[in-house]
Structure 1
């Protein structure tokens, strides 16, 4: 089968043997892939937990049709249309643990389905399990114009948030956030963004901030959060390190929480998938969760697709079609 592999001379399309599913796994003929930031890092040789390095098949998100099931798998069968987030996704076939696989809603095509698995589990975990959102609370998504961020806005809205705020430093993308659930969109590169958030929340601040940016917004987040607010760190697009105002952290009595899938066990990821599916499967099937597709590339054009993602000029998802 064809697969996009990291070689000692960089990523390249290569022929590689098709892998059979082991107990508890399914094999899927891939019809479409969604691109994610992690794919860029792994293409340079960076590890993602235990994944990556020379010889690794790149990619992390896919949609397709099950062509074989391993021993012990009872929840899926050959021919089922499914989507998932797992290693080695940029290939004609992918093998994944059945607990990490989600059914594709009947009315949804493969290209759309490939946009959801990473965002569904990431944002449900951050907003619900870790962030402990309660109906009526105010939520802010830092970095809301990314695919995961756009989904986070909608998940917060669907699950009953009283106010949803999103940030983007790009004016054109920021203007589109209202279409995906943002009641207020701010520019986190503007020194006045915290004041806008405080004013919008009538001087109280937000209950929950899901931060995909970190870097220079860390202290601003603490100022924008209400007393005893929660900040969930899911990404570091703005930098891994910054000055941290420990006194502000104490004064605001902030619950500052970090999450990543790199140190999760397979069983933990399966449970995260189960919870996300339980809460969001209905809204997804009903069309209440949507993802804009910025551009679709043929699988053979994966290098061009990765280049577009690296330029950070897209809104929503970049998709590969097989």
Structure 2
């Protein structure tokens, strides 16, 4: 089978398609014939040699969210059968024609969405759900500020905030196209954080109060400015640093009953596994109802994996970037 790997850290061009044996499912595992695999920013960072959720090692073989059809079962698997269409997140060997993973880590693909859209369900949608529900504990009527609001996770956060009853949804992104996209998904106010004074515009629009919930993943100066946009008794959840810059937070800025917390999806999987099933159930309901609709920006063949990573690095996508074997 074909699989994408890299033998060194570096630019997207280090990604190469190689030939490998088709994996064999062990006890409790299934073999999936891949229809689409979602590209996550964490894999871009690991390709660069940045350890995210674990060490970045060589040779590297990116993981991702794989949607496809079950073609073989390992010993003891009963909850799914051959022919079932499923989606799952894998930590490595994900950009491939066939993938093996645990049977208890599978989502059924809901009716009405295609394989590319389904790749949003395991990691991006679970991350979005647990950022806003488990970490931020958003309550109906609260205002929410979402940075990188047009990305693979951000565009889901906008829709989740709306579906869960947020009061005012403020979307921040770095271009007019991204802001228009976020508005089309339900954002009430959009602000370009590449422009000077963007945070002051948000404060002015909120009567100097800021947002009850701030969901931040850019890092750098955007993170620093976002601390000042937390309303009294509000919560900011930092779930990534796409810019690669991790500034220090001055505790003096949060003494006014403000909370800043970090979030890791790996932490939820390790310490709150029961929350994964809860999130999966709720997400499938929201997708089935049409309240949350994953958007695919581009579908590219495996041979163009480098182009997919370049899109992610440029942060130019509106929604999800997907590879198709």
TM-score (norm 2): 0.90
Please, which moves more after superposition, 206-215 or 188-197?
A: 188-197
Match of 1:194 among 199, 206, 219: 199
- Mapped pair 1:35 → 2:39: yes
Shift of 1:263: 4.8
Distance across 2 between alignment mates of 1:46 and 1:222: 25
Q: CA offsets per residue over residues 200-258 of structure 1, 9 Å max, x none?
A: 334432111111112112332222111121111101123432253321111x2221111
Q: CA offsets per residue over residues 186-209 of structure 1, 9 Å max, x none?
A: 122334333332343344321111
Unpaired runs of 5+ residues, structure 1, are none
SS of corresponding position for 1:147 = coil
Distance across 2 between alignment mates of 1:262 and 1:117: 12
Please, which moves more after superposition, 42-51 or 169-178?
A: 42-51
Match of 1:240 among 207, 229, 245: 245
Distance across 2 between alignment mates of 1:292 and 1:80: 23
Distance across 2 between alignment mates of 1:256 and 1:187: 23
SS of corresponding position for 2:75 = coil
Shift of 1:267: 7.0
Q: Given that residues 6 and 45 in structure 1 are in contact (C-alpha distance below 8 angstroms), is that contact kept between their aligned partners in structure 2?
A: no
Match of 1:282 among 279, 282, 285: 285
Distance across 1 between alignment mates of 2:304 and 2:95: 11
Shift of 1:271: 3.2
Number of aligned residues: 320
Q: Given that residues 45 and 54 in structure 1 are in contact (C-alpha distance below 8 angstroms), is that contact kept between their aligned partners in structure 2?
A: no
SS of corresponding position for 2:313 = helix
User: Over aligned residues, Cα RMSD in angstroms?
Assistant: 2.2
Distance across 2 between alignment mates of 1:63 and 1:99: 15
**Counterparts of residues 248-287 of structure 1 (less than 5 Å):** 248-250=253-255, 252-263=256-267, 265=269, 268=272, 270-287=273-290
TM-aligned CA distance change 1:74 to 1:196, over 3 Å: farther
TM-aligned CA distance change 1:222 to 1:45, over 3 Å: closer
SS of corresponding position for 2:26 = coil
TM-score (norm 1): 0.91
Please, which moves more after superposition, 13-22 or 166-175?
A: 13-22
Distance across 2 between alignment mates of 1:24 and 1:203: 54
Unpaired runs of 5+ residues, structure 2, are none
- Mapped pair 1:16 → 2:16: no
